[in-house]
Chain A
């Protein structure tokens, strides 16, 4: 019996953001935008969804008079990602 994949993570852009954040301590919005090749608007919406789910922390600051958004994965986000990968491995094993 396989568990359903987390719908918050099982979408391309949100999964890309979480996968980037899992390997780093913190990352700026510009870094996430560059690595995912997403539009700023779309990325903002998906970051907000991850934040609402409690998977990431979003810190807004100012740097050289420009707004700066820093994202960090939370403990809940790490657990959700690990669970997602575990379930994914289950699905892939079943499909072999």
Chain B
């Protein structure tokens, strides 16, 4: 492009062309979506297997979610460095996912703290909750934990996914979020074991599959650019 005077028609054409170029710029690699879709669905499937076949692997599989933070930071830094343009849309999506991470962390703190403080508060009033096995008659202290907590987590998984899908108009994310909401509704009527299976289905549909599709699109676009 040279430095030259323009006619009014040429100016308008140029403005339209340049604005179109920013809108068609696509850089989402799908790496984070694949990472979290894989980690959460794997953890949920292992939890389901342990509960369904009644065995233990000896440690809490959900620790993997903490381990996955390290590659996520690496992906974030790498993508931040390779990003040559930041659109308002990118900025809004980043904000949504930041709020999501804070909310997930807050929910995990809630689930663990509320269980502990409930026992303490009841004890302060001189109360303790017990559960009774109807068939054996065995009575033991009841461990308070927010009921069907994984259902609440599924709502949280769906929220940023649907928001991102609607902002970017990316249908696999929208469809994934609706499957996630469906899994949430079903999980209200199922036990912990099947809640874990539903969590795995939800995260595979709302993150892993759209992530793989985004990755495919990204690599195809990169290949075309390199040719």
Contact A24 to B86, CB < 8 A, known contacts A12-B14, A16-B1, A36-B1: yes
Shortest Cβ distance from B224 into chain A, in angstroms? 14
* B15 close to A (CB within 8 Å): yes
Overall SS of chain A's interface: helix
Contact B21 A15 (CB under 8 A): no
- The residue of chain B having its C-beta at the shortest distance from the C-beta of A89 within the complex is B12
Binary flags per residue of A24-47, CB closer than 8 Å to B gives 1, else 0: 111110110011111000100010
- The residue of chain B having its C-beta at the shortest distance from the C-beta of A94 within the complex is B8
Q: Which A residues form the contact surface with B (CB < 8 A)?
A: 5, 10-16, 19-20, 22-28, 30-31, 34-38, 42, 46, 63-64, 85, 88, 91-92, 95
Contact B6 A12 (CB under 8 A): yes
Contact B15 A85 (CB under 8 A): yes
Overall SS of chain B's interface: helix
Contact B4 A92 (CB under 8 A): no
Bin chain B's interface residue count.
20 to 34
Instruction: List residues of chain B with CB within 8 A of the CB of A15.
Output: 6, 11, 14-15
Instruction: List residues of chain A with CB within 8 A of the CB of B191.
Output: none
Contact B12 A25 (CB under 8 A): no
A selection of 21 A-B contacts at a CB cut-off of 8 Å is A11-B5, A12-B10, A14-B3, A15-B15, A16-B1, A23-B19, A23-B87, A23-B88, A26-B86, A27-B84, A27-B85, A31-B84, A35-B18, A35-B21, A35-B22, A37-B1, A38-B1, A42-B3, A46-B3, A92-B8, A92-B9
Instruction: List residues of chain A with CB within 8 A of the CB of B11.
Output: 5, 10, 15, 88
Contact A24 to B84, CB < 8 A, known contacts A15-B15, A42-B3, A91-B8: no
Instruction: List residues of chain B with CB within 8 A of the CB of A25.
Output: 86-88, 90-91
Contact B85 A28 (CB under 8 A): yes
Instruction: List residues of chain A with CB within 8 A of the CB of B133.
Output: none
Shortest Cβ distance from A40 into chain B, in angstroms? 12
Instruction: List residues of chain A with CB within 8 A of the CB of B85.
Output: 24, 26-28, 31
